[in-house]
Structure 1
Amino acid sequence: MTDQLESPRTLLAFDGFVLDLTRGVLTAEAREVVLRPKTTAVLAHLLAHAGQIVSRDALLTVVWGDVAVSDDSLTQCVSEIRRALGTVQADMLQTHARRGYVMATRLRPVGPAADPSGLFTPGSGPNAATPPGSEAPMQAGSRPRSRVAWAALIVGGFGLVFSAAAWISANRLPAPAAPSVVASAEPSSWDEARRLLAEGRTAQQGDGTYEERLRASLPLFIRALAVEPRLAEAASEAAFVHTNLRTTGASRDREGDLREAERFAALAMAAKPEASLSLASQAAVLRQHRRFAEAIVFYERAGADPTRVVDRANAGVMHLMLGDAESALLPLRAALLEKPVHQFAATWRVYLGLAKLMTGQPDEAADDFLTSTGLNFPVEERLFYRLVALQGAGRLAEAQALDTNLRQRDLALLARPLRALGMSDEAAYRARFETAVLAPLHRMGWAEVGR
């Protein structure tokens, strides 16, 4: 099978086009069109049976095998092929109602010297025209000039048929996403990697818990990197998955997640060191190492990108972790003003509430803990902070009602360690947390909290 895939027979030539089965690229003169793997397989099978009607059932069986797909999947591939052929040659692929499809063309053999580089003028790149002196494409309806040429065509044609069939069998892939025809000089690996990157990001917005969505997205980012290791965005997203699992307490292997985050962040920085996502992934790793002062630098550089509000907010969180609550207020407020419904907005608001408690603003802080549960903070912990804020603001009736409510809850939930206390080992942070949060709680009779 390897010899077949590497041989010249992986190039199928017809009517001025060349289909490269290995790369999934259809070339016509100076234009390249990148095809999805399933579309390439459909076109290859139709070319292998050029001039014959191929039923829809046959195509579904050959290309998708035992995978159950709708007829629409094949229809999308056919439409993509017609767009790739262009308006002039679109009718080369004919539909026969209730019978199937026909490629109204003939294959021409590609000689032993023909390979992907030999199809173009040296030094002119992948979009160059076929060099002078090479074999001109055989137009539909034309005839070989001799019996020898006719025999060569037959032999070459059978070789192409067997090669195409073998290639299709070896390259069955999952059902395709929505069709996309891209006229580009970039390798098709970039397009496939970007498709996987987009699927990973979509998975993070899907159903399930935040942890489930993170874990669903990770294999897609890893596959994108396997296809194209230079895709810094995929490396960054993979790093974020591992750091977010640790930050939210969902990690099943904290050391393993940290190692993987470091590896992916390093890949991102090596591929695109000044990209905002690369900088943010490096900041996220530094955050996991509790090197908050260094992380601030990377978060602020990443946050210079107007779209990266999350990095500007995280710079504020890093200030808080260093015990500099005053410097945390502005970026956290700005982030919430800019993106009040961001997926991390609830978490930012809890951090902002803590910064307000540490800077003597309990009345303003109280409502920050009423938000829906932040990803980093259990409900009971958030309510403890609200209790402190209400007491400090002199809203005693509300404080008493909340205190009574908390004491009716499961004591095991109330006795677990406070997440916010464990987020930083900085002396300044812990001193301010002790003064602003723990001391008031202990005075209210919650002596076991934070111990």
Structure 2
Amino acid sequence: MEAPRPLLAFDGFILDLTRGVLTAEAREVVLRPKTSAVLAHLLAHAGQVVSRDALLTAVWGDVAVTDDSLTQCVSEIRRALGTDKAGMLQTHARRGYVMATRPRPVAPAVDPATPLAPGAATRPGAEAPMPTGKLVRSRVAWAGLVVAGSGLAVFAGAWIGADGVPGPAAPAVVASAEPSSWAHAQRLLEDGRAAQQGDGTYDERLRASLPLFLRALAVEPRMAEAAAELALVHANLRSNGTSRDPEQDLREAERFAALAMAARPEASMSLAAQAAVLRQQRRFAEAIVFYERAGASPHRVVDRANVGIMHLMLGAAEAAQPLLRAALLERPRHQFAASWRIFLGLAKLMTGQPDEAADDFLVSTGIYFPTEERLLYRLVALHAAGRLAEAEALDANLRQRDPALLARPLRALGMSDEAAYRARFETAVLAPLHRMGWVAVGR
């Protein structure tokens, strides 16, 4: 029999210290391991001011991290507590944090999937095992709760109520779905991936896949691949500049990546989803670690390429080039190959290889780069390489285009706030453009 999991109750919440799950009534929120550890330490010292240094030492030990890592954990705890209870975690300026509550240990709930021995009595206050039909409905109710933030709760609720009997509250422990349920979720997962390879723009294909991945997660809430795909969709909508609500997409990416990591923390898809979230948070050095682990799978060339892109975002253009070249050699027709080549061209510009870089910008427009921006980079490369006739012809062509398209912010400049990256970009790209009379570009 599985050993009881340590649980802490406080103000209507239960923190499962093993699973890293915070539960309030029928709502479960999966916390990242470090966030769960921060909350547990604060609860262990409830009512006391705990300094930032004490928290960093208790949770991260000797590992060097920035204060931002702790700040993000605190923000995640407050989001998990909800608007009404977020004030329970108080900030004391220049002193630390206080959990204004009184936690108490509680016995773990009975696993409804585990039948009692014949004739055995339940422990005082415990519910009897629920009938099979109700257990199935409660699994579906849990599925609806997992994806409620993305609007699928209505779908799940309609499904539960199809027989006219409302499903019970989600149990503390949810048993694995039946094999047929898993197979159904797997089909939905593959349909979502097929939608991403279908017709339409990249944005349209991403949005077409979203409801399919959501349905897969509703059918099988522990399917890490579905949660990871959802995290990647929300992250990619931000990356390619088509997000309708960047902050909401970031929150959704964080939530689904946390679900994937909780379900299968060593799976390549889970690692890639966590890396994508760190990339959106502009924590590039941390993202590299997860991309490298995900890229250890022979099928994850995209993650190996992303390691190179993260090096570039940190300003390490030299380290970026061999990784991007290897990815292009391995998968020259990958849907991201054009973008990889543009990133490679930028890395070459930053390291004084304009002649080679010029041809990298001849590719069809990458997913992340508008045509006019790519051609501006080619103009810089041609001019720096001394290919002046080609540069003059391209310059004249660009000046005939819509000025509004040419004056908009450069995507590549806005991708990183790292000082090393911006300094190299401004020296290798912006300064030459301004000298050629393109003074509005990058302003």
TM-score by length of 2: 0.60
1:117 Cα deviation after fit: 11
Q: Does 1:237 align with 2:243?
A: no
Q: What is the alpha-carbon distance in structure 1 between the residues aligned to residue 114 and residue 400 of structure 2?
A: 76
Letter in 2 for 1:366: A
Q: Does 1:419 align with 2:397?
A: no
Give deviations 1:302-354, integer Å, cap 9, x for gaps: 00001000000000000000000000001100000000000000000000000
Q: Does 1:391 align with 2:362?
A: no
Matches within 5 A, 1:44-443: 187-443=179-435
Give deviations 1:31-61, integer Å, cap 9, x for gaps: xxxxxxxxxxxxxxxxxxxxxxxxxxxxxxx
Q: What is the alpha-carbon distance in structure 1 between the residues aligned to residue 416 and residue 185 of structure 2?
A: 37
1:209 Cα deviation after fit: 1.0
Letter in 2 for 1:437: V
3-state SS of 2:333 partner: coil
Letter in 2 for 1:326: E
Q: What is the alpha-carbon distance in structure 2 between the residues aligned to residue 198 and residue 449 of structure 1?
A: 42
3-state SS of 2:338 partner: helix
The ranges of structure 1 where at least 4 consecutive aligned residues each deviate by more than 3 angstroms after the TM superposition are none
Aligned-residue CA RMSD in angstroms?
1.9
Q: What is the alpha-carbon distance in structure 2 between the residues aligned to residue 276 and residue 437 of structure 1?
A: 35
Q: What is the alpha-carbon distance in structure 2 between the residues aligned to residue 331 and residue 417 of structure 1?
A: 27
Letter in 1 for 2:314: L
3-state SS of 1:269 partner: helix
1:207 Cα deviation after fit: 1.1
Q: What is the alpha-carbon distance in structure 1 between the residues aligned to residue 348 and residue 309 of structure 2?
A: 13
Runs of at least 5 residues in structure 1 that lack an aligned partner in the other structure: 1-115, 119-166, 172-184
Letter in 1 for 2:376: F
Q: Does 1:449 align with 2:441?
A: yes
Letter in 2 for 1:215: R
Q: What is the alpha-carbon distance in structure 2 between the residues aligned to residue 439 and residue 190 of structure 1?
A: 56
Give deviations 1:277-300, integer Å, cap 9, x for gaps: 000000000000000000000000
User: Corresponding residue for 2:40?
Assistant: none
Letter in 2 for 1:389: A
1:261 Cα deviation after fit: 0.3
Q: What is the alpha-carbon distance in structure 2 between the residues aligned to residue 281 and residue 266 of structure 1?
A: 9
Q: What is the alpha-carbon distance in structure 2 between the residues aligned to residue 234 and residue 117 of structure 1?
A: 27
Letter in 1 for 2:204: E
Q: What is the alpha-carbon distance in structure 2 between the residues aligned to residue 279 and residue 286 of structure 1?
A: 11
1:426 Cα deviation after fit: 0.2
Q: What is the alpha-carbon distance in structure 1 between the residues aligned to residue 289 and residue 206 of structure 2?
A: 26
Give deviations 1:343-399, integer Å, cap 9, x for gaps: 000000000000000010000000100100101110010000000000010000000
Letter in 2 for 1:351: F
3-state SS of 2:411 partner: coil
Q: What is the alpha-carbon distance in structure 2 between the residues aligned to residue 186 and residue 302 of structure 1?
A: 29
Q: What is the alpha-carbon distance in structure 1 between the residues aligned to residue 283 and residue 307 of structure 2?
A: 12
Q: What is the alpha-carbon distance in structure 2 between the residues aligned to residue 117 and residue 428 of structure 1?
A: 57
Identity %: 81
Letter in 2 for 1:249: G
1:188 Cα deviation after fit: 1.6
Letter in 2 for 1:267: L
3-state SS of 1:420 partner: helix
Letter in 1 for 2:283: R
3-state SS of 1:252 partner: coil
1:442 Cα deviation after fit: 0.7
Q: What is the alpha-carbon distance in structure 1 between the residues aligned to residue 202 and residue 218 of structure 2?
A: 25
3-state SS of 1:280 partner: helix
Q: What is the alpha-carbon distance in structure 1 between the residues aligned to residue 429 and residue 233 of structure 2?
A: 31
Letter in 1 for 2:194: T
Aligned residues: 274
Give deviations 1:108-143, integer Å, cap 9, x for gaps: xxxxxxxx999xxxxxxxxxxxxxxxxxxxxxxxxx
1:186 Cα deviation after fit: 5.3
